[in-house]
């Protein structure tokens, strides 16, 4: 029987060709998923046209561009290189980075910078002209309590307030730090802290029939010979009904479950090969070597009747889906009773498939610039990059726009419950390493798991989660 692909996918938006006319309906595709800012539809459309035209110029040979027509209404202002400190809720956006024909945090930010006068009209919507660099590139639907971008902009009195007036309220700019012209928000960043909010019902023991080789099945004395389905074939599980969802969300994790999770997360610490935690990479690729400084799990808390636990990871840089796959594997291991020893087998040459946990629970807490602050931040005409002065406002923003969005979405839609259902539909793809040996058992691995056309090879083109190239 041919294997079916049951995994959820985020399909990339269609990229326009550079010679295509600019669609008049662009404004309907790119803006303000939750609430509107102060820009009119006419302004929005005009700025989008400017952005796409700037991309055409940047990708055309210099001798073929022709002279650039000056804007007679543009006022030249003194510009300074700054690090801009910001927060945003990723709900409704296709990520941080600009992608034409898709809503993005950067696109709305560039519009606000241009409309407020922070960037001149001649340079409006052309990130290369303002030396724009992001510190962390977040994925579709991922939030940021703190992110940093560097650029050249004018520093008129009240400029931060003017920028925020032109932004949707789910994007806020808090302040700026004066930095040298050579500063890059990406290159100068020491590390990044991400938080993942997880409903604890995801840690509940799984049905042994889905993972017949696991410790949960062993402890339940499950007899695999009485399994009423064929192994290594996808199953069709019914959608989660309201009653079942409410029962799941009333679950409270015992301390031993949380202890298991903490032990598993601690195994990620150190420099490891993360080719199994992204897509399109092998263990021989130098870029898969990543350094995880710390990975901790906090104490559980209840919100809107659901028990949550906060997991925070500190690392130098992360690849596409890396954090979500790290969390995804940890969830599978706790559910199936797999011991922490399995983690170290994941960094070898053997291939494995790991489902990525939902984007709903992921947010960038903040980037860390300790080395820069110590070396450059104390010099004259320089500022440290520090979110502390804005912490009260950031906490209020997180509560209103991030935590509330995560909690409300899970309460009403049960995204984590549906994710568990989709994972269990293809449980045999994972049960070969979720076994009582706590290591890879190649004898249990489905033969066609990594063949062309299966879900392990059917993922998006690789782009690093935080902008690493």
CA–CA dist 315, 333 (Å, integer): 22
108 touches 61 (CB < 8 A): no
CATH fold label, 26-190: Alpha-Beta Plaits (3.30.70)
Q: Say which residues have a Cβ less than 8 Å from residue 369's Cβ, sequence separation at least 6.
A: 148, 188, 189, 190, 377, 384, 385
Q: Which of 451, 453, 433, 449 is nearest to 441 (CA)?
A: 433
pTM: 0.84
Buried b (16+ CB within 10 A) or exposed e, 324-339: bbbbbbbbbbbbbbbe
Q: Which residues are annotated as a binding site for substrate?
A: 194
The more confidently predicted of residues 16 and 167 is 167
Whether 246 shows a pLDDT value over 80: the answer reads yes
Helices 242-249, 415-425: axis angle to 10 degrees equals 100
Antiparallel, parallel or unpaired: β 143-153 and 301-303: unpaired
* Predicted local distance difference test score (pLDDT) of residue 22: 34
Residue 212 backbone dihedrals phi, psi, to 5 degrees: -70, -15
CA distances from 371 to 187, 188, 220, 294, 375 (A): 12, 8, 52, 18, 6
- Quick: pLDDT tens for 385-414: 999 999 999 999 999 999 999 999 999 999
How many helices and strands in the chain, by DSSP H and E?
15, 10
| Three-point CA angle 385, 390, 392, nearest 5° | 150
Average confidence (pLDDT) over 189-205: 97
283 touches 310 (CB < 8 A): no
Is residue 408 annotated as part of the catalytic site, yes or no?
A: no
Question: pLDDT category, 89, cuts 50, 70, 90?
Answer: very high
Average confidence (pLDDT) over 87-98: 91
- Quick: pLDDT tens for 39-63: 777 777 777 777 666 665 554 444 4
405 touches 100 (CB < 8 A): no
Average confidence (pLDDT) over 12-34: 38
Task: Looking at mean pLDDT, say which of 55-64, 76-85, 167-176, 227-236 comes out highest.
Answer: 167-176
Q: Say which residues have a Cβ less than 8 Å from residue 46's Cβ, sequence separation at least 6.
A: none
* Predicted local distance difference test score (pLDDT) of residue 71: 52
Q: Which residues are annotated as a binding site?
A: 194
Average confidence (pLDDT) over 330-356: 95
Helix (H, G, I), strand (E, B) or coil at 243: helix
CA–CA dist 119, 126 (Å, integer): 10
Check whether domain 193-368+387-457 has CATH 3.40.50.11710, yes or no: no
Query: Which residue is catalytic, options 139, 428, 429, 466?
Result: 139
* Predicted local distance difference test score (pLDDT) of residue 52: 65
Domain ranges of the chain: 26-190, 193-368+387-457
- Quick: pLDDT tens for 265-280: 999 999 999 999 999 8
Helices 105-116, 41-58: axis angle to 10 degrees equals 110
- Supply the mean pLDDT for the chain: 84
């Amino acid at each position: 029987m041919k294997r079916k692909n049951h995994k959820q996918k985020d399909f990339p938006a269609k990229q326009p060709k550079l010679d295509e006319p600019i669609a008049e309906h662009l404004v309907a595709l790119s803006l303000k998923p939750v609430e509107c800012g102060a820009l009119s539809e006419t302004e929005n459309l005009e700025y989008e046209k400017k952005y796409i035209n700037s991309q055409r110029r940047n990708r055309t040979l210099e001798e073929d561009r022709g002279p650039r027509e000056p804007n007679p209404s543009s006022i030249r202002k003194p510009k300074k290189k700054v690090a801009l400190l910001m927060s945003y809720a990723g709900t409704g956006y296709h990520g941080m980075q600009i992608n034409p024909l898709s809503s993005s945090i950067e696109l709305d930010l560039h519009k606000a910078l241009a409309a407020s006068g922070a960037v001149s009209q001649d340079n409006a919507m052309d990130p290369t002209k303002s030396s724009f660099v992001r510190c962390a590139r977040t994925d579709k639907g991922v939030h940021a309590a703190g992110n940093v971008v560097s650029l050249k902009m004018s520093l008129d009195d009240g400029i931060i307030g003017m920028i925020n007036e032109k932004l949707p309220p789910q994007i806020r700019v808090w302040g700026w730090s004066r930095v040298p012209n050579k500063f890059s928000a990406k290159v100068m960043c020491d590390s990044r802290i991400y938080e993942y909010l997880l409903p604890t019902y995801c840690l509940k023991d799984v049905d042994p029939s889905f993972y017949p080789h696991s410790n949960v099945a062993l402890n339940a004395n499950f007899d695999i010979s009485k399994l009423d389905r064929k192994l290594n074939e996808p199953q069709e599980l019914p959608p989660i009904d309201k009653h079942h969802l409410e029962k799941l969300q009333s679950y409270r994790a015992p301390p031993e479950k949380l202890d298991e999770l903490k032990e598993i997360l601690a195994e990620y610490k150190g420099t490891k090969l993360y080719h199994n935690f992204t897509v399109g990479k092998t263990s021989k690729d130098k870029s898969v070597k990543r350094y995880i400084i710390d990975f901790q799990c906090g104490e559980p808390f209840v919100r809107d009747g659901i028990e949550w636990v906060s997991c925070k990871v500190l690392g130098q840089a992360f690849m596409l889906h890396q954090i979500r796959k790290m969390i995804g594997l940890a969830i599978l291991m706790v559910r199936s009773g797999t011991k922490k020893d399995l983690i170290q087998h994941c960094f070898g040459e053997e291939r494995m498939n790991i489902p990525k946990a939902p984007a709903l629970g992921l947010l960038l807490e903040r980037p860390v610039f300790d080395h820069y602050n110590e070396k450059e931040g104390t010099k004259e005409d320089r500022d440290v990059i520090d979110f502390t002065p804005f912490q009260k406002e950031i906490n209020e923003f997180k509560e209103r726009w991030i935590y509330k969005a995560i909690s409300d979405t899970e309460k009403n839609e049960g995204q984590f419950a549906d994710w568990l259902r989709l994972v269990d539909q293809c449980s045999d793809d994972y049960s070969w390493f979720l076994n009582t040996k706590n290591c890879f058992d190649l004898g249990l691995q489905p033969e066609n798991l990594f063949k062309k056309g299966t879900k392990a090879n059917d993922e998006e083109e690789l782009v690093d989660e935080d902008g690493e190239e």
